[in-house]
Amino acid sequence: MENKTYIDGLIENAKKAQNLLEDYNQEQTDALVKAIGKIIYDNREILSQEAVSETGLGVLAGKVSKHDKVTTSHWAFLKDQPSVGLIEVDEVNGIYTYAKPVGVVACLTPSTNPTTTAVGNAMHAVKCRNAVVVSPHPKAKNCTAHAVSLMNKAIVSLGGPENLIQSIEEPSLELTNELMSKVDVIVATGGSAMVKSAYSSGKPSYGVGPGNVQIIVDRDYDNYPLMVAQVMGSRLYDNGMPCTGEQALILPREKADEIIKIFEEKGAYMVTDSADIQKLREAIFLKGFNGPINVDIVGRPAAEVAKYANISVPEGTKLLMTKLDKYGSDEVLCREIMCPFIRCFVYDDFEDAINIARTNLFMEGAGHSSGIYSNNDVNIQLAGSQMPVARFMVCQANSNVAGNTFSNGLDPTISIGCGSWGNNSISENLTYKHLMNKTRVSFIIKDAPNPTAEEIWA
């Protein structure tokens, strides 16, 4: 079957299903959103097993946890939000705002989080009465198709339309490009090439940028056990694949050894031999500085990465670490690395810490997120004002940037916008608000002031 004919069939099915939602009220719409989230939550273990088995990436416990967090946090956030019909009345300015669907949304999903990305984007899209066509990574097509099938089952069980959520059965670059040219909006979660392709499609697109999380530890901060626990928990999550994982620690020189010792007590291994560090460079980036990351180490445990690089590490090693003197474009290991590996830098002045972080981010990862462990509000505000990121986390695990926790106020998402720094259209967490058209009904403001030009320019 010709690609155009196949994609046209998906689009036709999606439009028919989406048209049937036009008359849904808020209660009916929310029932669908809850149902698709709940059925993925209920099947999180089998979907996680399928994702690990099919892709060979990550760990089962991490996948299960992510399904849990994404579905529950998304529903908790979405259930009370207005997204149908009249959603806002501004009596002062005489504006009534009505929410409308955008239509058919293409969701491009990665192999690293295939089923969680599908359900997260679907919940936000259906919240605004849109249809969804998922373009899965070829290495995750079966588990993604299963998740989509479950979500449709839940929709139909409530009397909703069939094919509201669909998935390309045999994904390819050609089919994905064809899909992007036919839908109304694109949400691209994956590598930079995918995001660039989405933005080049000619259709409204939301993409994500790469992460390269830099964490500054301030001199005044001393709760090292808590910090180490949070960093390791976040960095080891799903074998270090999430873009939200901490990549670099920037430590005060006089405290560095004390902090690193606590990491070592918790299962980290500090690679100190220069020859071994060079082995890591060559194993992780096979084609040098400008080459892609070696897919054979992505989502692999620390011990396997060390073995691949022919480095001997103690039994039970959970995390690889190393100290680096150079940063930014002078050191390839300053790039984002999607496995349990953290690089450490030391600083003398706080401004030096900010400079190290900024340099690494502008080399790769600007716009995404970073953080600080500090009790000094002046330093927190200084770093926050200077860091080129959309989210700057204070004394918390950087995995919290996705908002899939109830401990901060960030909107829950599976797609993290990185602004112009990361060549993205938004510098915030993508939610249903970005998948909604709005009609603003404007009235004349009674007794509105009508200042003269002279009064305005005075």
Q: DSSP code of 412?
A: P
Query: How many residues belong to the chain?
Result: 458
From residue 219, give the alpha-carbon distance in Å to each of 111, 252, 259, 349, 393. Answer: 39, 6, 12, 10, 17
Which residue carries 């479950």 as its tokens? 150
Q: Which helix (H) or strand (E) holds 101?
A: strand 95-101
- The tokens describing 173, both together, are 């670059």
Task: Catalytic residue, from 128, 143, 243, 334: name it.
Answer: 243
Which residues are bridge partners to 322 per DSSP? Answer: 271, 343
The alpha carbon torsion through 307, 111, 268, 258 (nearest 10 deg) reads 140
From residue 323, give the alpha-carbon distance in Å to each of 11, 109, 341, 342, 364. Answer: 52, 34, 11, 9, 19
From residue 173, give the alpha-carbon distance in Å to each of 116, 135, 137, 194. Answer: 21, 10, 10, 9
Question: Rounded to whole angstroms, how far apart are CA atoms 153 and 158?
Answer: 9
Question: Rounded to whole angstroms, how far apart are CA atoms 274 and 412?
Answer: 42
Assess whether 418 carries a catalytic annotation.
no
Question: Rounded to whole angstroms, how far apart are CA atoms 383 and 401?
Answer: 17
Which residues are bridge partners to 391 per DSSP? Answer: 369
Question: Rounded to whole angstroms, how far apart are CA atoms 190 and 390?
Answer: 18
Q: In this structure, how many other beta carbons lie within 10 angstroms of the beta carbon of residue 307?
A: 14
Instruction: Check: CB of residue 203 under 8 Å from CB of residue 185.
Output: yes
Cβ partners under 8 Å of residue 378, min gap 6: none
The residues carrying an active-site annotation are 243
